Structure 1
């Protein structure tokens, strides 16, 4: 290993799936790590923990069937409290040779349709991926370099259309697809651009007798807007000539002529709008004279009446400032006005100032009300349908127009006229009621002006006006006769006017500037759309060519790995190929030979491969993928099924060797003890690290124990015959477990003696007592629990019959012995740690 290689140095997991409350750490400082575990001991949980560390996801949820909700709370160990931390961490040595801690903490587990959430950190700094360490993940469900049983056949079992997505992501072709999607999206956006107001007006013109002129304008092209404008104006002037029968000097002249022609045509068509009542303005609110009423009732009525007279008296200069009695200028009484009397008048005038102000404000309010009332009355009179006041000439003209439209129209016209006249009569009732209110307002204003108290009979009321108005509005809204007339006439008028095109041509002329701008933009969009479509066709062809080239490379890699697993077979792999030269579907092709000299016959691999061959193909494809993306490590969970035992050796000798020789770090987990033994034995030169996973305590979780020692190897050998159905098969397990017990006993005795000051090796104990029966008395002083001595004594009682002609112990008994040995080894390892003599 060099400083330029990315490597996993250690791995740590807590609370993830089978891993519980105890933090478990594994040394991974070898290029090859072999991990053995029985079923349900946490082997797959370990692989998924690595996957979670790299991607933050679980491919199990993405690829398995079932509803998303079935994976709720599936990452956290089920026996952990809800607030207990869950994390996966690793020491990753980068290309710079520095080991950094990578850690992913679970923030929230899968919940219903919601994804899990996690936080990824490198040396304590939050990051989004591990690309900074040279670990790039692919797109799609299989993102991490971790082979699990549900990913083993993913590329085989998925639909061909989804398979091509997998291969494109694998072969770094997704960018090409993304570029093509962007090109097609741009083209779609251009196609979906809604026409502007100018082009909409032109579209309406195309539905008239001037359709040829509209088409001519639509086909116009110009290098710039001014050139295009000249062409549009020329075409519109020609269209105007065809409508009017005479040429126009300019666009402005044509607009005037068309407006006059349209008015003349409107006079000849049916005057439907004459039957509609115009909208009314809001009825005015009564004037507020409450303040005047209050002040007038507070003031003396006689004083209020005399107020103008007294005010006039004080305006006479000779009277306002007298210091002696003078004659009264009003009643001519001799010496009638004294200084005292003048002062009294002045005081009275000051007291009645508020009345004067209230009087003035009330008069103004009444005047304003009368003005608004008159305006409203004008709107009522103006709302009367024009047809209600037609003279005989106009009525005859309308009847003639109705008859020209349809034979049913005159009858509808008569009913509508009667309703219009009834509406006019109701409107006049409203006007009469309003005029009565206006007369009452005039009388009220006179009372206020004379400073007289307002009697109840002089109070204004709009009740009669509102009653008349309600009847009028009901008449207008309930005009069924007009509705029937409009329903019959409007389609006929629309058809006639549309076919003429006069109004539509005028509408186009009014939007000339917008039409030129819209047409210029349309030309540019059309040109751009043509370029985009050409680019799309070129990209499609290029993607197919690149796919073929990349598939050739991919196929070579798959064939090479296939050959490492299943060498010299007549059934082989022929490559990854596009179906019918398309870029949507991808097939995996098998090559079938009758003998080594015969030509191969190609078939779809899924249709002809056996189950074992499909597993090998899935593994080969996965390894090719890992190789092509240059992953620095690969994690293989049960790569060779136990049912395919014939290919254990080829996998260990050829496939593992190939991966290790390419510089890749390989971690293999398996429940097959023979595969684990072969993997480490065949590749011994790589100094593999081996582990055994056991789940002794559900709450604490799976425990990894490094087995790169004789005790662990003996325990591993015992797995092969543990479940054998025959006594002969189980005798091998008896021998292995007895050897493991003897080795462990020697290690414990040597370690304890050395710790007490008597340096002792396992070889020294071997010379003193080599058999288990002789070792147990030496071991007795060093047992760690009351029941350990009894467990040691029962081991030979159970295992010895298996080494003789007596019946071998049952599988249940062997599992009990295995469990005892594991617990004893765990206890002494916890006590002595690395000082336990190996």
Structure 2
């Protein structure tokens, strides 16, 4: 058995251990695989396919059976774990020892964590030398794209590519050729294009579309055209404002055709004009202006601060405070201020009473009362400002009361008729009317409070002027104002909601009665012009993105076609080469893989038909003209081509040559397997065909070959492999060929071959037993002493392992098998199957019993 890296330095499986997976049960089964070719023979339902799928599970962690065979996913629930394992037994695994290209061995172990189940996928854990990994690329085992990831040919993969529709077939070949990444990238580009394409343009652009059919239609087309070129926000804003000015001029032009077209310097000026025109149009249908709301603006007036004046007055003599204004008035006269001789007093009229000396005294008095004067001056200024604030508040109160509050009954009747004509619910106006009255009442309360406060301010002004004490009612007056202002603002707010509802209802109802075309549409655009700028820039970017994605998708599609053609040509040559190994020198050949009509969605398999080897081939669809045998050969050739192109170092083939195609088993063994081995690929074949197994050993036997036989004797323990790479094993394989023959002649052949196998096994047991007892003996030595089964049985009985049982089996063999050589009745297939099982059981028992196994 080989123990070094193969000549081409590729990885090789050294051994396999499998437990609890499908047909393999509670007993862990170990198989040595360290040769270029391993052939595993088994009858039906003995675990052959389970072994092949075990390799697939080890490498990929998946089961292609579930992906390719069809049916509901639920039909594959609990399909990987052995059905007879106890519920508590979770030790399900496939383990292998692999020798890498560097000669180092690695242990690969795949543990089943969760089988396929209701709503769950298969889950497993992959360990490389005890460390959890996601793949085995670092040791040279690279997987292909799904669905066939592992280099394992199973029956459902052999014909899958042939049974799918041409459209689905392209996906399979792309997976084989590892081209799915290109498709995935194209799909991402297509999905991105779809997402961008499905995005709706900004809502404001629908307002632009609304200009169609109005005098401003040209301006709408101008704005729409902006999305066809790159735009900055500033450039878009400038262009849109220019278009809006044009739109406004168009809708406000003199409808009489006088040629008077208004011009506007700014969009804001246009906005004012459009609103005025729209308001005028609304007024023709209903007097909305009378319901206008003008909320009370500005801060609520506060009480003027008289504290400094009151404090200064308290600190001054009351009499002095009262005469100070008189003295200020006297000294304010220039004549008296510069007096140099006695004169008459201007206050009391006494002659020569006002002298320069008395003027000096008066100046001293004023100096002493200067602080009070300054305080009085400041107080007068504060009172003046307070009066001004009250005046402003009074003006605001007057504006806050809507005109409808003073309407006559006739005016209300006309408005009611106009509203009914518009089809608007009268209750909307009735509600506004009631709240307008509340605004008027609240305004009256505030006006009264302002009047009282103003009277108090006048009194305070007189007191300051005469330096008298202030009345204390001023703060109360202002508190009344604050309360009244709050009431008016609350009433105005409530009324404002009612008036807004009325305005909205009227504007909607009167929209169709606007006689100036485009007025409403331009007004809507002006109100949302900032949004239009944003949406135009975004839409321009979106359109450019769609264009680039369309171009990218087209280029990717063309590139994908070119890549497919190149790879299909390469693969076609490789498939043709493998086809020739299976079916050499036939007139029906393989013509290649071709895309239909140059597309990338359909793939056809072409057959090449010749009348003779010198004629030009005629091309036909392979599926239409190939026989079943040829379709099998094509499926196998495709898989082998895929293996070669992907550089797989290990290949597992499960029944690669069906029983119906026995004519090509020799070409497969000799040519196909030979080429695989020459390429340094380790080939593991599982087959029910004993001839194929036998011929594989004949062609490629020696140190580069290991053979196994699988038997499912104990359902609980599971499938058991037995190595049969010897003469006994070959004879058992040869007997298998005729075991199920329906004729007596066929069963006689199986009977004779099985007797030869029993004789060979007996010689091995005798030689091994004598050698172990101290007398070195070879199988050839035994044969010189005894050659027939009858002569061998007395010699073999001393070396039986299971004394009574095995002795009985040896004595039974001649009784069942010897009649096959004479004219007696030939044993039935059932009897022969029992003998076959007993022989295999004895061989296995002795191989385990003797330290070095049975001598070969």
TM-score normalised by the chain length of structure 1: 0.75
Q: Aligned to 1:790, which of 808, 829, 836?
A: 808
Measure the CA separation in 2 of the matches of 1:421 and 1:830: 107
How far apart are 1:92 and its partner, in Å? 1.6
Measure the CA separation in 1 of the matches of 2:546 and 2:281: 43
* 1:11 equivalent in structure 2: 16
Measured against aligned partners, the alpha-carbon deviations of 1:250-295 in whole angstroms (never above 9, x if no partner) come to: 1222222223223223322346999999xxxxxxxxxxxxxxxxxx
* 1:704 equivalent in structure 2: 721
How far apart are 1:204 and its partner, in Å? 4.5
Measure the CA separation in 1 of the matches of 2:98 and 2:514: 81
* 1:607 equivalent in structure 2: 624
**Contact 1:138 1:169 (C-alpha < 8 Å) held by counterparts:** yes
Measure the CA separation in 2 of the matches of 1:425 and 1:486: 14
Measure the CA separation in 1 of the matches of 2:585 and 2:814: 47
Measured against aligned partners, the alpha-carbon deviations of 1:185-207 in whole angstroms (never above 9, x if no partner) come to: 23223323333455354344457
State the secondary structure of the residue aligned to 2:839. Answer: helix
How far apart are 1:609 and its partner, in Å? 1.3
Q: Aligned to 2:829, which of 801, 808, 811?
A: 811
* 1:801 equivalent in structure 2: 819
How far apart are 1:555 and its partner, in Å? 0.9
* 2:241 equivalent in structure 1: 233
Greater mean deviation of Cα atoms: 247-256 or 826-835: 826-835
Q: Aligned to 2:185, which of 164, 179, 200?
A: 179
How far apart are 1:836 and its partner, in Å? 2.6
* 2:225 equivalent in structure 1: 219
The yes-or-no answer on 1:780 pairing with 2:786 is no
Larger Cα Rg: Structure 1 or Structure 2? 2
* 2:122 equivalent in structure 1: 116
Q: Aligned to 1:255, which of 251, 271, 275?
A: 271
Q: Aligned to 2:144, which of 114, 138, 143?
A: 138
Quote the RMSD (CA, aligned, Å).
3.4
**Contact 2:820 2:827 (C-alpha < 8 Å) held by counterparts:** yes
Q: For residues 395 and 714 of structure 1, do their structure 2 counterparts lie closer, same or farther at Cα, with a shift above 3 Å needed?
A: same
Q: Aligned to 1:77, which of 75, 82, 101?
A: 82
Measure the CA separation in 1 of the matches of 2:632 and 2:28: 34
For structure 1, which runs of at least 5 residues remain unmatched after alignment? 278-383, 403-408, 432-472, 474-478
**Contact 1:138 1:170 (C-alpha < 8 Å) held by counterparts:** yes
Measure the CA separation in 2 of the matches of 1:529 and 1:811: 73
* 1:333 equivalent in structure 2: none
Measure the CA separation in 2 of the matches of 1:276 and 1:253: 21
State the secondary structure of the residue aligned to 1:669. Answer: strand
Measure the CA separation in 1 of the matches of 2:549 and 2:51: 49
* 2:782 equivalent in structure 1: 765
Q: Aligned to 2:280, which of 238, 243, 264?
A: 264
Measure the CA separation in 2 of the matches of 1:235 and 1:769: 116
Q: For residues 830 and 486 of structure 1, do their structure 2 counterparts lie closer, same or farther at Cα, with a shift above 3 Å needed?
A: farther
Task: Please list, as runs of the form range in 1=range in 2, the aligned pairs for 1:414-813 lying within 5 A after superposition.
Answer: 492-496=509-513, 500-684=517-701, 687-785=704-802, 786-813=804-831
Measure the CA separation in 2 of the matches of 1:499 and 1:44: 85
* 2:65 equivalent in structure 1: 60
* 1:451 equivalent in structure 2: none
How far apart are 1:812 and its partner, in Å? 1.2
TM-score normalised by the chain length of structure 2: 0.74
* 2:201 equivalent in structure 1: 195
Measure the CA separation in 2 of the matches of 1:24 and 1:727: 37
* 1:832 equivalent in structure 2: 850
Measure the CA separation in 2 of the matches of 1:185 and 1:129: 29
Q: For residues 42 and 411 of structure 1, do their structure 2 counterparts lie closer, same or farther at Cα, with a shift above 3 Å needed?
A: closer
Measure the CA separation in 2 of the matches of 1:525 and 1:46: 56
**Contact 1:387 1:417 (C-alpha < 8 Å) held by counterparts:** no
Task: Please list, as runs of the form range in 1=range in 2, the aligned pairs for 1:149-160 lying within 5 A after superposition.
Answer: 149-160=155-166
Measured against aligned partners, the alpha-carbon deviations of 1:588-619 in whole angstroms (never above 9, x if no partner) come to: 11122333344332221111211111111111
Q: For residues 417 and 760 of structure 1, do their structure 2 counterparts lie closer, same or farther at Cα, with a shift above 3 Å needed?
A: closer
Q: Aligned to 1:96, which of 102, 110, 121?
A: 102
The yes-or-no answer on 1:24 pairing with 2:29 is yes
Greater mean deviation of Cα atoms: 577-586 or 517-526: 517-526
Q: For residues 204 and 93 of structure 1, do their structure 2 counterparts lie closer, same or farther at Cα, with a shift above 3 Å needed?
A: farther
How far apart are 1:95 and its partner, in Å? 2.2
How far apart are 1:691 and its partner, in Å? 0.8
The yes-or-no answer on 1:51 pairing with 2:56 is yes
State the secondary structure of the residue aligned to 1:550. Answer: helix
Measure the CA separation in 2 of the matches of 1:178 and 1:270: 63
* 2:380 equivalent in structure 1: none
Q: For residues 517 and 417 of structure 1, do their structure 2 counterparts lie closer, same or farther at Cα, with a shift above 3 Å needed?
A: closer
**Contact 1:37 1:692 (C-alpha < 8 Å) held by counterparts:** yes
Measure the CA separation in 1 of the matches of 2:765 and 2:595: 63
**Contact 2:153 2:639 (C-alpha < 8 Å) held by counterparts:** yes
Greater mean deviation of Cα atoms: 230-239 or 553-562: 230-239
**Contact 1:652 1:679 (C-alpha < 8 Å) held by counterparts:** yes
Q: For residues 5 and 418 of structure 1, do their structure 2 counterparts lie closer, same or farther at Cα, with a shift above 3 Å needed?
A: closer
How far apart are 1:210 and its partner, in Å? 2.5
Measured against aligned partners, the alpha-carbon deviations of 1:224-261 in whole angstroms (never above 9, x if no partner) come to: 43333322221111112223331111122222222322
* 2:252 equivalent in structure 1: 244
Measure the CA separation in 1 of the matches of 2:204 and 2:815: 102
Q: For residues 813 and 426 of structure 1, do their structure 2 counterparts lie closer, same or farther at Cα, with a shift above 3 Å needed?
A: farther
Measured against aligned partners, the alpha-carbon deviations of 1:158-199 in whole angstroms (never above 9, x if no partner) come to: 121111011112223222222222222232233233334553
**Contact 1:31 1:666 (C-alpha < 8 Å) held by counterparts:** yes
State the secondary structure of the residue aligned to 1:252. Answer: helix
State the secondary structure of the residue aligned to 1:575. Answer: strand
Greater mean deviation of Cα atoms: 76-85 or 498-507: 498-507
Measure the CA separation in 1 of the matches of 2:564 and 2:835: 57
Q: For residues 613 and 233 of structure 1, do their structure 2 counterparts lie closer, same or farther at Cα, with a shift above 3 Å needed?
A: same
State the secondary structure of the residue aligned to 2:852. Answer: helix
Q: For residues 803 and 190 of structure 1, do their structure 2 counterparts lie closer, same or farther at Cα, with a shift above 3 Å needed?
A: same
Measure the CA separation in 2 of the matches of 1:498 and 1:796: 119
Measure the CA separation in 2 of the matches of 1:222 and 1:113: 50
Measure the CA separation in 1 of the matches of 2:124 and 2:52: 18
How far apart are 1:556 and its partner, in Å? 0.8
For structure 2, which runs of at least 5 residues remain unmatched after alignment? 1-5, 254-261, 294-400, 443-493
The yes-or-no answer on 1:167 pairing with 2:173 is yes
